[in-house]
Every structure is written in structure tokens, then in C-alpha cells.
Amino acid sequence: MAPARLSADSGPRWTFSFPALFAAMVLLCLTLGASTVHAQQGRGSDAKGAGGWQLCNQTSYILEAATGRPDGRAVVVQGWIRLRPGQCAAAAPAPLARGVHYVYARTVNAHRGGRRQWGGDAKLCIDPTSSFAVENPSSCEQMGLEERDFRRVMINKRDSWRTSFAEASPLTLFGARSQGLQRLLADAGYDSRTASGGTDPRRAAGAVQRFRDDAKLPATATEDQLIDALEAAARRRAAAIGLTLCNRTSGRIWSAVARRRGEGWESRGWWPLGPGACARAVDDPLVQTYYFVHAVMETPQGERYLAAPGTTFCTSPTKFAILSRDRCAARYYDETLFTPISSDGREGLVVEFFDADFLPAGARPQQSNAPLVSSEGPAEPAERDTGRDPRVRPSPVPGLVQKGPDQRTTVTLPGQRTAPPPQKGPEN
């Protein structure tokens, strides 16, 4: 769960910092002179002109929200409601059914740093890839859905109610809008923040103008249109960098990655991937020569592991982020084989897993005989400019490298395959 919280029906929270407030006002005035979002903080009955159940985004991210409402003995779950930073939107019209409702939100994948989620402990089904409306079934998997943890919201007013999404440091709707523009500019490659991470109004206005010129936005474009264009640009940029894992098999896959981080190693997981699903496991430009991937496929006959030889890293049965690859068992971690992948100087790669990449159920993968130095000291001086570690010289299995329809470089492992698979473009 992200370091954030969801607040429902709370009292006003106002924090003033004159330099930050002045910078935010200058940024908004210079970029748009656009409309201001008006919404009242607190109980929905106090909101003016907004009936029903309102969701408000008081974060600096673009959010997608799903809601659940009672319908007799069933719960109707539907999504997605898109919320720009500082925006409120209707989740259900009045009159409202009194009782427990449910809400869940996630950041869109245009933002870097992984997806953040706002939820609770009520497990309901969602379709993670498209709009949906479903009476919550007893089994999500049987309907091709996925389970998420929703927050319970007790609504006891029939005319109006408001639920707000917030970050750890509370923002007003106006502040969320301003900070959201700054975040989107950075995600799209137009970062205007100072070296200390602060806001410079002139740099911010200049970054907005550069983006407007590059995107050929008309002078009459509204703030909402600017945010939407920035989101589209950020998505395109995110698609071109980092390491994306895609499941091209008929089963469910649990995946993990390992890489060099600074002077040591790091392994992370798990990313569950249904058939046809993709996940961006590394969302920074690839700067290391080698990255390492692990995948295990669930089948009725048992687990199937990658056929390509690998080298050991530490993992855990639950979600993990582990520093160092040494002494896994002594630190109560599992030792798991990861397959090396060469970035070959590319900033972005897509690794596709096909059925033929996996061993039969019950067969165990082999450890690679290629040496991998376990010392975790700094890189040699000659390599520091590139960020590549000269001592990491595994022999990655020579996979098939090709371009997808969106021009992203795709790597497919040879596994037990005797012929190249049909070309498939990776998904976001």
C-alpha cells in the first residue's frame, strides 16, 4: 500500500506555505487561466450543487476509481472513474442507499514509480484492463476478473456524500491540481523542479510552454486538455523505457526481477500476470548491462519454471524487495534462479513469456555455470560514466530480439522453442 490515505467525510485540512502557494498560483495563472474546481470539504450534505456520492482527488496523481454499492443482498462493482488531480466526480446519483459502500483507486500507469493504490480490506472483483460493471461473484478468477482490497464507506445520508483520496501530506483541491501538473510535466520529460525538488514558477511556466509547443496545443486549450495531453505524452515515454514483463501463455504467471542497484543487488516481486497481461517491473531507463527475470507458471499439473539456466537471488513467498543476493537462507529467504537478460545499451525492453519457455510441470531449472561475481563494491572507474558494472559478465541465453508494432524492443527467451513465435505487440 502506498504511503497515502483515503479520507471520507473529514473536516477541513488547510496548510499554508506562502512561497509554495505563490508558486502554485503563478503556475496556474501562466499555464491556463482556466476554470477552478470547486468542492466543499466535509460531509456531502454540506457540498453545494453536488448531489449523490462524490469522489474527490486531492492527490497529485491521475486516479482511476472503482466503487461498490449495495443492491439487495448483492454488491454491484463498477469502474473506472477517471479523476484528474483536484477533480471531483459523481460515483452514484441521489438518492443514495444507506449502508456500506465500497471504493478503490489506483494511479494510472502514466506515472513513474509504480502504481499506487488506495483501498482497505474488503475483497471485491475488478476488471483491471477496461470498464466494467458486475454483481460481485463468488470467484473472481472464474469470470476472468481480479481481486482487489476496497475501502468500506458507511453512507448515512440519502442526498449527498463525499469521499476524498489524499496523500500522506494533505493537499487542497487547488494544491492537488498544481502539484499534479508538476508531476505530469516530470513524467512526460519536462521536469521543471529545482535541484532541491522545489518549485520555480518561471521554470514551470517555461516547461508548460515548451510542452504546449511540442504537442501543438492551441492557445485556447483548457487546463483539462493540457493534463490529458501530458498524460498521453507520459504514457508514450513510459512505454519506451524500463523493463516490461508480458504473459503470452495460457496460464497465470508470477514474475520477479533482479538488478544492480548502486553498489549492491536488489530483487523484487511479485507481479502476477494473467494470460495476455503485462507489468512494468522497472520504470526507469535501463542503465545496467544485465537484468534478471524469474517467472513461474501455475498449471493444474503443478508449477512450471523457466527452461533457461539462471543464477540465484533471494526471494520471499510474499511480496518482497530484498537487498543483496548473499546468504539468502541465513536471512530466512528462498534462493531462486533468475535468467539474465542483456539490455544491449537499450533504455527499454519488453520480455515476453511463452508456453514453450517453461519446463514441464515437476522439472526443475538448472543453474548457469557462467560466473557472476558476488562482490558488491563500487564499479571500476572506467565504467562509472555509463552506469554499467564491468564485473557482471553472465552469459545470457541468446533470446530473439525484435521490434513490436509500437517500436519497443521485445526479447523472447528461447526456452524449448524450435521456431520463432508469431509477432505480438506488448500491451501497456
Please give the model's pTM, rounded to 2 decimal places: 0.65
Domain check: are 74 and 181 in the same one? yes
Does 21 share its domain with 162?
Answer: yes
Question: How far from each other are the two terminal CA atoms of the chain, in whole angstroms?
Answer: 22
- According to the model, what pLDDT value does residue 240 have? 79
Residue 152: inside a domain? yes
54 with 176, same domain: the answer is yes
Domain closes at, from 189, 221, 240: 240
My answer on whether 378 and 258 are in the same domain is yes
In this prediction, residues 353-360 reach a mean pLDDT of 92
* Domain containing residue 80: 1-240
Question: What mean pLDDT is predicted for residues 5-12?
Answer: 36
Q: What is the mean pLDDT of residues 118-146?
A: 89
Using the 3D structure, point to which of 240, 275, 298 is the last residue of a domain: 240
Are 229 and 298 contained in the same domain?
Answer: no
- Distance between CA atoms of residues 267 and 293, nearest Å: 9
If asked whether residues 233 and 300 sit together in one domain, one would say no
Cα 413 from Cα 417, distance rounded (Å) = 8
Check whether residue 235 and residue 371 sit in a common domain: no
Is residue 387 predicted with pLDDT exceeding 80?
A: no
Q: What is the tens place of the pLDDT at every residue in 35-46? A: 333 333 333 333
Give the chain's domain count.
Answer: 2
Reduced to 3 states, what is the DSSP secondary structure of residue 143? Answer: helix
Q: Are residues 199 and 250 in the same domain?
A: no
Instruction: Out of 191, 213, 240, pick the residue that ends a domain.
Output: 240
Same domain (yes/no): 46, 167: yes
- Residue 43 belongs to some domain of the structure: yes
Beta-carbon contacts of 19 under 8 Å, excluding residues fewer than 6 positions away, are none
Write the DSSP assignment of 285-347 as a string of letters. ---SSEEEEEEEEEETTEEEEBSS-BEEEEE-SSSEEEE-SS-TGGGT-EEEEEEEEE-TT-S
